[in-house]
Amino acid sequence: MIASSDPEVLFGGGLGGFVFHMAICMMLIFVAYFIQAVIHESGHLVFGLLTGYRFVSFRIGSIMFIKENGKLRVKLYNIVGTGGQCLMMPPPWKESMPYRLYNFGGCIMNFIASIVFLALFIFAVPGSFGALFCGMLCAVGFGNVLINGIPLQVGGISNDGHNALLLGKNPVTLRAFWLQLYVNGLISEGERMRNMPGEWFFLPKGEELNDPIICTVGVMKYNYYYDIHDFAAAEETAEYLLKAPGLLGLHKNELLCELMFLRIFRGAEPQEIDSLNTKELDKYIKATANYVSRRRLAYAYQLLYRKNITMAQKCLELFERTLQSYPYSAEIENEKEVIELIKAKAEIF
């Protein structure tokens, strides 16, 4: 094992040695981030199971493990702005619903792991790759604790600390959080939103409009209308929610995309459609081009708005290809139905 901490001994001198040194450091940082992301999401899983939650899905990057018909399957799914996500079915609703350990489980595991890596760094051979890697794992882990534990909204998404802070203030928020996890669990099991009681979902009012978790129930209300194909109500709901101060940036961009689709579908005036296509939204659309809903938007845009049959066919092929690895069968079923509605609108059979 190399014991020297001198870069010239480790990597050689000169510019070549420096570039090689930096490349190794960047690679180790990437690997350390990946390992700590797995540890973080495992923390949510472990502490969720300990407090009565059931496994639904586990995602790192775009690789998702999801329980489907009692079997664990691998799918491709990504949410822009997140490195991973562990979703679980909550225990039956009660006002004393456990939420702290589930939300802070990731930070707890990162902290424990970082203490272990710090100890390994201290006892490792000074200047060795092992010491360097353990130091990076420790630094990234403690960074994760701060980024996820201190209440923040990062990239338009509430972190674990922010969620826990909101949940501890308002029982309505806690109920909304439970409902969000419960509905996601049902969807992962193949249940359509259209088959769920419509009264589950409500639009926030008054001070509730400042609460991002309660606003999420409003977004589910939109999804419910979309699933029953009540596009007029869906459009009205999207326009209402876009005025909510507490709406997360992620949900705002998604609703703007949906609003664009709904206006295209009903044949709105070009200025109504084009007014939504800002530089910011265009950037988001490009970043999420592989989402199933984006494929559907692109198909409707080319077929109904641009009247470009050739491009629309290419968009349809991409849509069908994306469905092959998409994890939620209930959403696949609905999106296929909407594609047929788009074809009917364009009189393509």
What's the rounded mean pLDDT across residues 300-316?
96
Angle, alpha carbons 163-169-172 (nearest 5°): 85
Burial group, residue 49, by CB count within 10 angstroms (0-12, 13-18, 19+): middle
* Residue 157 pLDDT greater than 90, yes or no: no
**pLDDT tens-place string over residues 18-33:** 677 788 888 889 999 9
Q: What pLDDT does 7 receive?
A: 45
Residue type, 120: L
Residue 265, helix vs strand vs coil: helix
Average pLDDT of the residues of the chain: 91
**pLDDT tens-place string over residues 329-342:** 999 999 999 999 99
Distance CA 18, CA 231 (A): 59
* Residue 15 pLDDT greater than 90, yes or no: no
Lowest mean pLDDT among 163-167, 173-177, 294-298: 163-167
**pLDDT tens-place string over residues 90-119:** 999 998 999 999 999 999 999 999 999 999
* Residue 289 pLDDT greater than 80, yes or no: yes
Distance CA 205, CA 228 (A): 23
Q: What pLDDT does 13 receive?
A: 55
**pLDDT tens-place string over residues 187-232:** 998 999 999 999 999 999 999 999 999 999 999 999 999 999 999 9
Q: What pLDDT does 48 receive?
A: 96
Q: Say if CB 99 and CB 164 are below 8 A apart.
A: yes
Residue type, 199: E
* Residue 2 pLDDT greater than 60, yes or no: no
Burial group, residue 170, by CB count within 10 angstroms (0-12, 13-18, 19+): middle
How many alpha carbons lie under 13 Å from residue 290 in its C-beta half-sphere? 12
Q: CB under 8 Å to 328, separation ≥6 — which residues?
A: 187, 188
Lowest mean pLDDT among 67-71, 113-117, 169-173, 313-317: 67-71
For 228, phi and psi rounded to 5 degrees? -90, 5
